[in-house]
Homo-oligomer: A and B are copies of this chain.
Amino acid sequence: MRKGEETRTRILDVAEAAVLQKGFGGTSIEELIAETGITKSGFFYHFRDKNELAKALLNRYIENDERIYDEIFSRARELTGDPLQSFLLGLKLLSELLSDLPNGHPGCLVATVCYYERLFDREIQETNRNAVLAWRRRFGRMLREIMEVYPPREPVDVDQLADMVSSVLEGGIVLSKTLKEPNTLAEQVLMLRTFVKMLFLPVAEMPRA
């Protein structure tokens, strides 16, 4: 029914916020049911155990993540036909989106799962791995398009460069959260943008000294 989905979503919302702040092990089911106003039995009606909650949580997070990237980079694509310009614009839009988050980025569930590997089954670890591989493919695809037009100034492996986007995002989140400086993440994305720009854009004017 519809009501069931709604409750399930509410549980997932509460759980996601809690897990990103305290990790899976630090988040108790009792606390989740207290905040959602559901009973323990109600909770276990929706999720067989914590592992299944984690699975649902991660899948939803990844889907949402993909959707956001789809939106940003397709919007950037509409605004300019050039693959490099649209990628650079996409990074700009991404950094703006990140700096607009009122309390900073809440954290990445992929990283949370990564630092929790041993507690989950193979399936959830595979899901996580595939999420990172999807990032690699996504950014790799765009970078390959760029490289067909713009020869890179230094020889680089496309997959490694694609991974760099993920690295900077994941690392930027850790820095931003740890420092309690919400803007650091956005700045890191712009730093990456500078790298990509410098790597592909032909040398024209150089503001020496």
Contacts and interface: CB of A to CB of B under 8 A. Distances in A.
Interface of A: 20-27, 107, 110-119, 128-129, 131-133, 151, 153-157, 160-161, 163-164, 166-172, 174-175, 177-180, 184, 187-188, 190-192, 194-195, 197-199, 203, 206-209
Contact of A21 (B118, B132, B163): B118
A160 B191 contact: yes
A60 to B, nearest CB: 18
A113 B166 CA distance: 20
Contact of A208 (B151, B175, B180): B151
From A26, A192, A206, A209, name the one whose CB has the most chain B CB atoms within 10 angstroms: A26
Given A24-B23, A26-B119, A151-B209, A166 B175 contact: yes
B180 A164 contact: no
A9 B163 CA distance: 36
A113 to B, nearest CB: 8
Nearest to A192: B164
A199 B174 CA distance: 25
